[in-house]
């Protein structure tokens, strides 16, 4: 079928590039809730696992502890068993099935060294070696999964152990205290709901991460409002908000996919099937470090019902 007119495809491509895809921001409000009750929420306030609190985190290698069925343990969790005697017995019992990660650790050490030396060919060789060792470990665990589960079951019957206590480091804890004020259990705060970006009196930018749990507390007040005097709020940034910033020297409209403690994880507003395409090497994430946002001319933008991009940097 011939083109309707000369230059049709070029004009169509130009028109498509001008389209800004709008996404529904995740502000933690239940879309089916009562509009008058602004404290209704659509997400979890914290993770479901209740942890015990570890008093000597430095010595035990973690600040919380939780029970887990013995037969559900993974190979990586063996060294997190809290009881040192039980942990050693378990390692001895599983020794024929556990891999040796020393080769992988040595390869990682070599990669650090060649990166410092800025040897491009050596860096590629070290990366290839790491990928090969990771694949070998993955294949070994997959092929030996049935034997590993059988060995755990045998250990449980021999020593009459059904559950073990695992220690782990956990950031952003919600601590539950008894009437005397002593902590006795804790929950992981779960996802970050938003980041608050603010400008200090000296024109530098700061930020504070707000979890879903804190955002739904009636008495919650961000610490920066009291700690950093004469500062002003720039933006609340939530998941699925649209932002504009410099990427490789050019301004792009991006969607906020995840909010992490040190950076925002971004994708182009028109991008879809992110996880699958990233796995296949067809797509790359953009990570925006909070400390560099001002230099990147970062700002939050919106799209009107008519499809117009509303950019605070544009003068009316």
Average pLDDT over residues 304-313: 81
User: Which of left, alpha, beta for 281 (phi over 0: left; psi -120 to 50: alpha)?
Assistant: left
Average pLDDT over residues 143-167: 93
* pLDDT of the residue at 114: 87
Give the rounded distance of the alpha carbon of 239 from its chain centre: 12
Per-residue pLDDT tens digits for 284-308: 999 999 999 999 999 999 888 777 8
Q: What share of the chain is helix, strand, coil (3-state, %, to 5)?
A: 35, 25, 40
* pLDDT of the residue at 277: 86
Contact predicate 238/23, CB 8 Å: no
What is the number of helices (H) and of strands (E) in the chain? 9, 14
* pLDDT of the residue at 29: 54
Contact predicate 200/228, CB 8 Å: yes
- Distance CA(61)–CA(64), nearest Å, equals 9
- Taking the model in full, what pTM does it have? 0.66
Lowest mean pLDDT, pick from 2-11, 251-260, 275-284, 298-307: 2-11
Q: Domain locations in the chain?
A: 52-99+128-168, 192-310
Q: Which of 44-58, 200-214, 297-311 has the highest mean pLDDT?
A: 200-214
Average pLDDT over residues 167-181: 87
Candidates 35, 21, 28; CA nearest to 302 is 21
Spell out the residues 6+ positions from residue 61 whose beta carbon is closer than 8 angstroms to its own.
80, 167, 169
Residue 103: is its pLDDT beyond 60?
yes
- Distance CA(259)–CA(257), nearest Å, equals 7
């Amino acid at each position: 079928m011939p083109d309707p007119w000369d230059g049709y495809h070029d004009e169509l491509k130009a028109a498509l590039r001008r389209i800004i895809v709008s996404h529904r921001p995740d502000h933690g409000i239940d879309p089916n809730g009562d509009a008058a009750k602004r404290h209704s929420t659509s997400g979890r306030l914290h993770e479901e696992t209740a942890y015990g609190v570890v008093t000597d985190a430095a010595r035990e290698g973690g600040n919380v502890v939780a029970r887990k069925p013995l037969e559900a343990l993974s190979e990586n969790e063996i060294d997190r068993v809290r009881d040192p005697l039980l942990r050693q017995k378990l390692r001895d019992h599983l020794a024929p099935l556990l891999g040796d990660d020393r080769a992988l650790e040595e390869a990682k050490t070599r990669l650090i060294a060649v990166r410092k030396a800025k040897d491009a060919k050596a860096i590629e060789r070290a990366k290839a070696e790491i990928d090969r060792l990771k694949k070998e470990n993955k294949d070994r665990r997959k092929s030996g999964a049935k034997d590993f589960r059988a060995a755990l079951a045998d250990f449980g019957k021999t020593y009459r152990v059904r559950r073990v206590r695992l220690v782990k480091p956990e950031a952003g804890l919600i601590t539950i205290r008894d009437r005397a004020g002593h902590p006795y259990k804790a929950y992981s705060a779960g996802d970050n709901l938003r980041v608050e970006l603010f400008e200090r009196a000296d024109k530098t930018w700061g930020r504070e991460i707000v979890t879903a749990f804190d955002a739904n507390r009636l008495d919650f007040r961000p610490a920066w409002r009291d700690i950093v005097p004469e500062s002003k709020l720039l933006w609340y940034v939530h998941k699925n908000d649209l932002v504009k910033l410099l990427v490789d020297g050019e301004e792009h409209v991006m969607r906020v996919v995840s909010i992490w403690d040190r950076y925002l994880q971004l994708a182009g507003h028109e991008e879809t099937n992110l996880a699958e395409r990233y796995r296949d090497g067809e797509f790359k994430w953009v990570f925006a470090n909070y400390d560099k946002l001002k230099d990147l001319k970062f700002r939050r933008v919106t799209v009107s019902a008519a499809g117009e991009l509303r950019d605070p940097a544009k003068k009316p």
